[in-house]
Amino acid sequence: MTIALFITCFNDTLFPNTGKAVVTILERLGHQVAFPEEQTCCGQMHFNTGYQSEALPLIKRFVRVFSEYECIVSPSASCVGMVRDMYQYAAEVAKDKGLAAEVKALAPRVYELSELLVNKLGLVDVGAYYPHRVTYHPTCHSIRGIRVGDAPEQLLRAVRGIDYVPLPAAEECCGFGGTFAIKNADTSMAMLSDKMRNITGTRAEVCVAADNSCLMHIGGALHRQRTGVKIAHLAEVLASGEQA
Amino acid sequence: MKPDSVIIELSPEFSVGAKQALQNTQLRRNMGKATQTIRAKRATVVGELPNWESLRDAGERIKAETMAHLDVYIERLEKNIQAAGGTVHWASTAAQANEIVTKLIQATKSKHIIKVKSLTTDEIRLNEALEAAGITPIETDLAELIIQLAHEKSSHILVPAIHKNRSEIRELFQKAMHLPDLTDEPKELAAAARTFLREKFMTVKVATSGANFAIAETGSVCVVESEGNGRMCLTLPDVLITVMGIEKILPRWEDLGVFMQLLPRSSTGERMNPYTSIWTGVHPGDGPQEFHIVLLDNGRTQVLGDSVGRQTLHCIRCSACINICPVYERTGGHAYGSVYPGPIGAILTPQLVGTEHAASLPYASSLCGACYDVCPVKINIPEVLVHLRGRVVREKHSHVSGWLDPESIGMSGLGQVFGNRMAYEGAQTMGKLAQWLFVHDGYIENGPGPLGAWTAMRDLQAIPDQTFRQWWRERNEHDDHA
């Protein structure tokens, strides 16, 4: 199957290794990856901060770029949530019936990586080997937005060599929240300090999540405090193999 | 709509109040303990009901239907209350409601009133209006009494004194009730309050209340509580005055069955609350002989007119969203500057007073969605927050100066960049070049401009040398040559 990669502007620029990992996993599973180079940003930052009219052209752009693909995957639960849950609302606000119809057709074909692997392709073991002590932070948009359930944990538990430790109070927000981390930096950090305490308490070497945005937040504080704990996107763990 | 129409302190932005609150060690400890305890209780009792999701659906459906035909139900309620011997008053603003209540009390010649815990009377600042007219309101809910004696404001809609621990309450009671030997045993504290309040129940002849529900079909009004002090106020006085927001109406008696399952489990984490009082008009020889209800608008019909914001009026004030909120857990309620704090406050307050008077509240959330998951009537709070953020920005952009603030300039610039592939790829390269001054060992530890708010507390990972798309292109070129 040909699967179009919606890399997201954030991963494209800041976390290229996550994109490479998605390509590795999908090709290892025998699929073809397409990367439409006209893609830029889904508009989430603009939309969620209130800049709806600035977000609208980006939403239309996404729909135009990806409409021709049957199956689209993204290593970002948050951006997938934007497309699946907020695009419809954005089209309604803009009173654009044509866009609403296009979104309705496109949105169900956009999958987050763990959803694609576990729910659509029916896989749990993707042939990964990762001999490290790992904990997993289920990001808000993955569990309460697009509701991936325990698909990421199922994938992690099937990784050979992994020492998977559940994270206490895992479902609580890390405090990122997009521009919230800047506008309400103190509250954001107060939330993050509790998340950090839970992460370091697991004695994990690596904190994994399905969103690099939240991981950048968590990782930024883990690094500032020299905890020795690093971050990795779920895709990077799943792409690891003994040959790598 | 004027900002004084709802209780909101036109204080600094949420972030400023939050920063102060975050530094209060006692508050952080009290709030963390209290919210986590009540969350766990709620999760247990909600988990007992296999049909919880269908109850939530039913709650949502009934509320949506009520809002769609509010004009019909509100007239039906008025007619049925009047038929049962009650008097109905209409107030479109807080000031009107306060004037009506003050005149009704003055007509009784009473200089004191006892109060059932009521958010609506907090919203209209009834106590202040009564005190200005020489009438002393006495709060009878234990937590409200604590707040009143401490001359403070509530920090939680259900547990107004949640920010105080028992040692603080002991010190307060010692002074206010002249009890030098009082200990901080909860039993002793409750007994002190009981002695203080019993005397008021026996002597004061006028009471005010809010309402959890009013049934249009029967003209009945319902108050749900834990302590029984509300029951005292609703049964002992000669005159009862209820102030109720128009959105509290339920169409039918049978609807109460749904909400009596949803409310106690969501609010106090109990299967059933200890005291539920329902009354219909007046009955000779039984309870208050004079019953007035003030139906309050105070911005509600304006909210009703907005198709996305309207669901905010479905709220049954259970406080599940407040208890689950990771922001509220850390800042407490005072940072919101409103009688309605937490997620529901962040969407209700700006709609009642106008977003221009509470522009920071829709941003007082990380959009984590925990509030939506626990809401017993399925109010999509994150959706309304984003909707209101859109309104805040549109209002800001209605002035030329609004386009010139750094955020607007940045957002507009980024919008252009993302709108064009060449501009986007150019910006990626620019970013890589521009960051060199600030990057040390792969991280920015002291960023410029708005990045400073990030790097004050966390490091920022630098942009790597190669973007994903550059790698992709390189790989494909390589493959082509191979």
Task: Give Cβ neighbours of residue B5 (< 8 Å, ≥ 6 apart).
Answer: B93, B94, B95, B124, B298, B299, B352, B353
Residue B467, pLDDT score = 98
The answer to the question of residue A73 being in a domain is yes
Do A52 and A161 lie in one domain? The reply is no
Is A187 an 8 Å CB contact of chain B?
yes
The answer to the question of residue A10 being in a domain is yes
pLDDT tens digits, B92-107: 999 999 999 999 999 9
- B279: phi then psi, degrees, rounded to nearest 5: -135, 150
The answer to the question of residue A85 being in a domain is yes
Q: Tell me which chain A residues have a C-beta less than 8 angstroms from the C-beta of B468.
A: 7, 11-13, 15-16, 18-20
Q: Tell me which chain A residues have a C-beta less than 8 angstroms from the C-beta of B461.
A: 14, 216, 219-220, 223
Nearest CA in chain B to A231: B461
Residue with the larger pLDDT of the pair B40 and B480: B40
Using DSSP, state whether B49 is helix, strand or coil: coil
- From A88, A120, A152, give the residue that closes a domain: A120
- From A68, A93, A120, give the residue that closes a domain: A120
Detail the DSSP E strand segments found in B297-444: 439-440, 443-444
pLDDT tens digits, A221-239: 999 999 999 999 999 999 9
Nearest Cα of chain B lies from the Cα of A98 at a distance, in angstroms, of 20
Band of the pLDDT at B6, cuts 50, 70, 90?
A: low
Residue B8, pLDDT score = 61
| Mean of pLDDT over chain B | 94
Do A116 and A6 lie in one domain? The reply is yes
The answer to the question of residue A33 being in a domain is yes
Do A6 and A103 lie in one domain? The reply is yes
Do A148 and A213 lie in one domain? The reply is yes
| Cα(A107)–Cα(A72) distance, integer angstroms | 9
Band of the pLDDT at B9, cuts 50, 70, 90?
A: low
The answer to the question of residue A126 being in a domain is no
pLDDT tens digits, B320-370: 999 999 999 999 999 999 999 999 999 999 999 999 999 999 999 999 999
Is A202 an 8 Å CB contact of chain B?
no
- From A89, A120, A151, give the residue that closes a domain: A120
Is A36 an 8 Å CB contact of chain B?
no
Average pLDDT over residues B151-158: 87
- What's the order of all strands across the beta sheet hosting B275-280? B249-250, B213-215, B220-225, B275-280
Nearest Cα of chain A lies from the Cα of B445 at a distance, in angstroms, of 8
Which residues between 96 and 135 in chain A have a beta carbon less than 8 angstroms from any beta carbon of chain B?
Answer: none
Using DSSP, state whether A151 is helix, strand or coil: helix
Region of poorest pLDDT, from B73-82, B166-175, B382-391, B473-482 = B473-482
Nearest Cα of chain A lies from the Cα of B170 at a distance, in angstroms, of 30
> What's the one-letter identity of residue B21?
A
Task: Give Cβ neighbours of residue B281 (< 8 Å, ≥ 6 apart).
Answer: B81, B83, B84, B85, B86, B219, B291
Detail the DSSP E strand segments found in chain A: 2-5, 32-34, 72-74, 110-112, 133-136, 163-165, 206-209, 230-233
| Cα(A92)–Cα(B307) distance, integer angstroms | 11
Q: Do B15 and A86 touch (CB under 8 A)?
A: no
Is A19 an 8 Å CB contact of chain B?
yes
Burial of B1 (0-12, 13-18, 19+ CB in 10 A): middle
The answer to the question of residue A71 being in a domain is yes
Using DSSP, state whether A148 is helix, strand or coil: coil
pLDDT tens digits, B396-423: 999 998 899 999 999 999 999 999 999 9
Domain ranges of chain B: 3-301, 423-481
State the distance between the two ends of chain A, measured CA to CA, in whole angstroms. Answer: 25
Q: Half-sphere exposure of residue B410, counting CA atoms within 13 Å on the CB side?
A: 10
| Cα(A157)–Cα(A159) distance, integer angstroms | 6
Residue B11, pLDDT score = 61
For A81, the domain range is: 2-120
Residue B99 vs residues B96, B113, B297: alpha-carbon distances, Å:
5, 15, 14
Region of poorest pLDDT, from A134-138, B42-46, B265-269, B444-448 = B444-448
Residue with the larger pLDDT of the pair B4 and A106: A106
The answer to the question of residue A150 being in a domain is yes
Do A100 and A200 lie in one domain? The reply is no
Tokens read off for B83: 């038929």
Closest CA to A93 of A47, A49, A58, A42: A47
Nearest Cα of chain A lies from the Cα of B456 at a distance, in angstroms, of 9
| Cα(B139)–Cα(B145) distance, integer angstroms | 5
Residue B3, pLDDT score = 42
In contact, A200 and A229? CB cutoff 8 Å: yes
Band of the pLDDT at B1, cuts 50, 70, 90?
A: very low
Do A89 and A137 lie in one domain? The reply is no
The CATH topology of domain B3-301 is Rossmann fold (3.40.50)
Cα four-point dihedral sign B201, B205, B208, B212 = positive
pTM: 0.95
Do A115 and A137 lie in one domain? The reply is no
Q: Do A12 and B467 touch (CB under 8 A)?
A: yes
Mutate to test the interface with B, among A8, A188, A214, A229 (most CBs of B within 10 A): A188
| Cα(B380)–Cα(B398) distance, integer angstroms | 27
Closest CA to B76 of B295, B243, B305, B301: B295
Residue B7, pLDDT score = 54
Residue A244, pLDDT score = 47
Residue B8 vs residues B165, B212, B278, B339: alpha-carbon distances, Å:
25, 22, 31, 7
Band of the pLDDT at B439, cuts 50, 70, 90?
A: very high
How many A-B residue pairs are in contact by the CB < 8 A criterion? 190
Do A185 and A82 lie in one domain? The reply is no
Do A142 and A175 lie in one domain? The reply is yes
Using DSSP, state whether B346 is helix, strand or coil: helix
Do A16 and A77 lie in one domain? The reply is yes
Q: How many distinct structural domains can be found in chain A?
A: 2
Do A103 and A161 lie in one domain? The reply is no
Residue B419, pLDDT score = 96
Region of poorest pLDDT, from A193-202, B191-200, B251-260, B447-456 = B447-456
Q: Tell me which chain A residues have a C-beta less than 8 angstroms from the C-beta of B472.
A: 19, 23, 35, 37
Q: Tell me which chain A residues have a C-beta less than 8 angstroms from the C-beta of B373.
A: 144
The answer to the question of residue A127 being in a domain is no
Cα four-point dihedral sign A150, B373, A231, B470 = positive
Do A85 and A25 lie in one domain? The reply is yes
pLDDT tens digits, B17-48: 999 999 999 899 999 999 999 999 999 999 99
- A170: phi then psi, degrees, rounded to nearest 5: -60, -35
Average pLDDT over residues B310-326: 97
The yes-or-no verdict on residue B158 having pLDDT over 90 is: no
The yes-or-no verdict on residue B128 having pLDDT over 50 is: yes
Partners of B113 in the beta sheet?
B137
> What's the one-letter identity of residue B73?
Y
Render each residue's pLDDT in chain A as its tens digit; 244 residues.
999 999 999 999 999 999 999 999 999 999 999 999 999 999 999 999 999 999 999 999 999 999 999 999 999 999 999 999 999 999 998 999 999 999 999 999 999 999 999 999 999 999 999 999 999 999 999 999 999 999 999 999 999 999 999 999 999 999 999 999 999 999 999 999 999 999 999 999 999 999 999 999 999 999 999 999 999 999 999 999 976 4
Residue B164, pLDDT score = 86
The yes-or-no verdict on residue B199 having pLDDT over 50 is: yes
